[in-house]
Structure 1
Amino acid sequence: MSTANEYLGINREVLALAIARMADAVGNSFLIVVLPLYIASGTIEGGAGGLGVSLLTGLILSAFGFFNSALQPFAGRLSDKLGKRKSFVLGGLALLAVANFTYSLASSYWMLLAIRAAQGIGASLTIVATIALVNELADDKSRGGNMGTFNTFRLLGFGTGPIVAGSVIGSGPYSLLGFSITGFEAAFYIATVSAVVSFVLVTLLVHDPDIERSVDDEDTSIAVFDHDSEGLLDPVFTLGVASLFMAVGIALLSAIEPQVNARLGQGAQLFGIEFAAFVLMQVLFQAPIGSASDRYGRKPFILVGLALLVPATLAQGLVVAPWEMILARSAQGIAGALVFAPALALAGDLASKGASGTQLSVLTMSFGLGTAIGPLTSGFLVRFGYVTPFAFGAVLAALGFVLVYTQVSETVAVGGDSAGPAASAAQD
């Protein structure tokens, strides 16, 4: 039965965080479409310093992922030490708002690079603290459902942004309070407003849960090996490795769009539908799978997801028609939903009180690194044959299955009446 602080079994503050994250994701995903077009438009007139525009463009686009992933463990540990989640979320959102607006003032490629790096820093502060808040606002019986709901809203924002961004740019220029603004400027302003809206929502509707600051260095460190049980690897680290492998497989498609379109005899529109099929399945299945993992256990869903990821990834290298690729990407999306929310919930079950930021940053960092490594991997391996990148991704998924099966224990009693011994011990 839902408590006064829950709506349909989901913590109301988690819902507020989810809506805030959705608004912010709309703005951030805007820039995935906007920045490459902005750089290619010739608006920036400063020289590329001998690196060449193409190389510098790549550096600008990758700076966000590098700074975001690299700093997440440090942000998570610091938020654990200080016991302040909300301050980190608000600080990150404020930095994102300023960075998003500053794009409209940039006059050189180097300014764009610095702004993109600042965005990555802001995201690292926000992402880890937000996931830790979700973990701590939920309880052992609802953690999966809350994680799934949060990720559903995030993905809705992430999927909506690129669709709207193209229309915003193409419909410019606009008149705002008597001033003419370009489509690019409008997109930057929308991204800024989205971060401000998120800031306001978190300020008004979310509070820091009553947790003790973590003063134990062992709690706020990332373990690789498991010294407390018969397993070789730490279970949270193992889940991070599996998340990395999953993300690599998911991201293989983006860097080889020309080869995919040539093989399937299609254009950019069908490729976009194929790419979006993954996100749609995530949106549809994250919340129900997360809730189911509260009742039936985390590990079975993770294993089924990794097992499904093997043929779903390999199939993308074998299909010969667009509809087949859509089916393969949809299956991959369902596989991702089976893994992501239950894995976050399982890591949350195992996290000691006050150490959620450090522990959960392992998974968020791993997923971010995987999405950066995936395109580089497919861009390199495709030279050895079209199917090669996808076969590689399938092997990684199979390896992730083996690691989780052998190194991770269940944390939820079957039936969902209480957390299992591993979780209970970690929470005490």
Structure 2
Amino acid sequence: MADAMGNSFLIVVLPLYIASENINGSFFGLTESLITGLILGVFGLITSFSQPFTGRLSDKVGKRKAFVLLGLIIFTFANFAYSFAHTYWILMAVRMAQGIAAAFTITSSLVLVSEVSVKSTRGNNMGVYNSFRLIGFGLGPLGSGILVENGPYEVPVFGSINGFVASFCVAAFAALLSAILVYFFVSDPDDIEPSDRKMNIRILSKTKGKLLDPIFALALATLVMSFGFSLLAPIETKTNERLSQGAFMFSLEFSALIAALAIAQPIVGKASDKYGRRIFIIIGLICLIPIVLSEGLTTEPWQMITARALQGISAAMVFAPSLALAGDLAEKGQSGSQLSVVTMAFGLGISLGSFVSGYAVRFGYVFPFLAGSILAGIGLLIVISQVPKNIEENT
């Protein structure tokens, strides 16, 4: 939760920081919206493609805690480094460092949750874990919006600092606090041993009549779900103009999705332990199709808040059951590498959403959300056709 709060501080702050007088220079002559999308999105791109390797390495070593700690330490320094970033190039480099840090923490944390769970409780445990992360992720934008709007601040010894620097310092402290908590209160499971098995990540299915491996299909469903998460952040300034609002109201809209997702996930996760995972994933994707599109049609802040909250509830039906089902299917000694496919897809979806939103908005405000709606429909078709109905009975 502390780690996620620190990282989400930057979701609201970075677009405003990029648009401020603190940043100078150019970046290949690109527009501000596209540069913002690239800087926000490169995080997910780096962490996504790194996760299978860090996951496999944690399988080989048989230790998860050390990887989580390493990532959090990198996060601490990277979050603080934004205070000294005054060009697009430096911002991009710091964001890439954050992506590498996340590759160490995300997969190892989720595998730990999966390894201390049994099948009958895995959905609930994944929901609880993700909810605490999301509580932090939701609190971050609220806190950063307040800090930016009410700066500058007088700090003993350091003198006056603006709202941006204050946000970066709080984000760094949150990552440091998270590292301290993990060091003292988290232990690796006693029954997990180093694995010398080769990485076994499948794309194609071994089951006759199916094209995609079920874990890979779940990863694609997760990707289209997370794609819709990040459509709003790169177009923050355009959203504020369209809805006639400031940074704090935008942070409320952004956090509405996270709050709804955090509340719904433990409920959905526990229900998926009892009633099965697949049905919740299908319902969630069906709901995402009209809800994501509606965000591009909003004209009032309350409409955006409502749509984002409904998107969070729908995403909860996809996220926790997908992670739990992937954990059910993961082979012994391959948990890190195989679960990393789903976590990689989540980060890749965030990244692609940022890229697409920053580019597609030039054609009209609704176009990024139309893309998210279409992808949700594609994800629905993939789950229906490639994830067997009786998959829980075969695990």
TM class by shorter chain equals 0.7 to 0.9
Letter in 1 for 2:105: T
Q: Which residue of 2 aligns with 1:186?
A: 166
Q: Which residue of 2 aligns with 1:172?
A: 152
The reply on whether 1:146 has 2:118 as its aligned counterpart is: no
How does 1:222-241 map onto structure 2 within 5 Å?
222-241=201-220
Determine helix, strand or coil for the equivalent of 1:141.
helix
How far apart, in 1, do the equivalents of 2:237 and 2:77 lie?
Answer: 35
How far apart, in 1, do the equivalents of 2:41 and 2:337 lie?
Answer: 24
The reply on whether 1:201 has 2:181 as its aligned counterpart is: yes
The reply on whether 1:303 has 2:282 as its aligned counterpart is: yes
CA 317–58 in structure 1, closer or farther in 2 if over 3 Å, else same: closer
CA contact (8 A) 1:148 1:290 kept: yes
Determine helix, strand or coil for the equivalent of 2:101.
helix
For these two proteins, the number of residue pairs brought into alignment is: 390
- How far did 1:346 drift? 0.3
How does 1:406-417 map onto structure 2 within 5 Å?
406-409=385-388
Letter in 2 for 1:207: S
Q: Which residue of 2 aligns with 1:267?
A: 245
Letter in 1 for 2:173: V
Determine helix, strand or coil for the equivalent of 1:174.
strand
Which 10-residue stretch deviates more, 244-253 or 315-324? Answer: 315-324
How does 1:17-416 map onto structure 2 within 5 Å?
22-43=1-22, 48=26, 54=32, 59-106=38-85, 109-169=88-148, 170-176=150-156, 178-183=157-162, 184-209=164-189, 210-217=191-198, 220-257=199-236, 266-268=244-246, 270-319=249-298, 321-382=300-361, 386-409=365-388
CA contact (8 A) 2:151 2:161 kept: no
How far apart, in 2, do the equivalents of 1:106 and 1:348 lie?
Answer: 39
The unaligned stretches of length 5 or more in structure 2 are: none
- How far did 1:366 drift? 1.2
- How far did 1:96 drift? 1.1
CA 411–293 in structure 1, closer or farther in 2 if over 3 Å, else same: farther
Determine helix, strand or coil for the equivalent of 2:120.
coil
How far apart, in 1, do the equivalents of 2:245 and 2:362 lie?
Answer: 21
Letter in 1 for 2:175: A
CA contact (8 A) 2:277 2:322 kept: yes
CA contact (8 A) 1:135 1:143 kept: yes
CA contact (8 A) 1:349 1:411 kept: no
How far apart, in 2, do the equivalents of 1:113 and 1:369 lie?
Answer: 17
- How far did 1:198 drift? 1.0
- How far did 1:272 drift? 4.1
- How far did 1:212 drift? 2.8
- How far did 1:343 drift? 0.4
Q: Which residue of 2 aligns with 1:426?
A: none
- How far did 1:162 drift? 1.8
How far apart, in 2, do the equivalents of 1:324 and 1:110 lie?
Answer: 36
Among the aligned pairs, what percent are the same residue?
49
- How far did 1:80 drift? 1.5
Determine helix, strand or coil for the equivalent of 1:244.
helix
Q: Which residue of 1 aligns with 2:394?
A: 422
CA contact (8 A) 1:299 1:342 kept: yes
CA 175–313 in structure 1, closer or farther in 2 if over 3 Å, else same: closer
How far apart, in 2, do the equivalents of 1:324 and 1:109 lie?
Answer: 33
Give the number of the structure with larger relative contact order, counting CA–CA contacts within 8 Å between residues 6 or more apart. Answer: 2
Determine helix, strand or coil for the equivalent of 1:368.
helix
How far apart, in 2, do the equivalents of 1:58 and 1:316 lie?
Answer: 18
CA 26–366 in structure 1, closer or farther in 2 if over 3 Å, else same: same
CA 256–26 in structure 1, closer or farther in 2 if over 3 Å, else same: closer
CA 303–98 in structure 1, closer or farther in 2 if over 3 Å, else same: same
How far apart, in 1, do the equivalents of 2:103 and 2:297 lie?
Answer: 37
How far apart, in 1, do the equivalents of 2:15 and 2:37 lie?
Answer: 9
Largest Rg, 1 or 2: 1
Which 10-residue stretch deviates more, 24-33 or 334-343? Answer: 24-33
CA 182–67 in structure 1, closer or farther in 2 if over 3 Å, else same: same
Which 10-residue stretch deviates more, 320-329 or 208-217? Answer: 320-329
Letter in 2 for 1:213: P
- How far did 1:213 drift? 2.6
CA contact (8 A) 2:214 2:386 kept: yes
CA 68–35 in structure 1, closer or farther in 2 if over 3 Å, else same: same
- How far did 1:87 drift? 1.0
CA offsets per residue over residues 89-141 of structure 1, 9 Å max, x none? 01111111122233345565544433222111111111111111111111111
RMSD: 2.8
TM-score, normalised to structure 2's length?
A: 0.88
Letter in 2 for 1:197: L
TM-score, normalised to structure 1's length?
A: 0.82
CA 235–160 in structure 1, closer or farther in 2 if over 3 Å, else same: same
How far apart, in 2, do the equivalents of 1:305 and 1:349 lie?
Answer: 20
Which 10-residue stretch deviates more, 54-63 or 197-206? Answer: 54-63
The unaligned stretches of length 5 or more in structure 1 are: 1-21, 413-419, 424-428
CA contact (8 A) 1:273 1:326 kept: yes
Determine helix, strand or coil for the equivalent of 1:142.
helix
CA 349–261 in structure 1, closer or farther in 2 if over 3 Å, else same: same
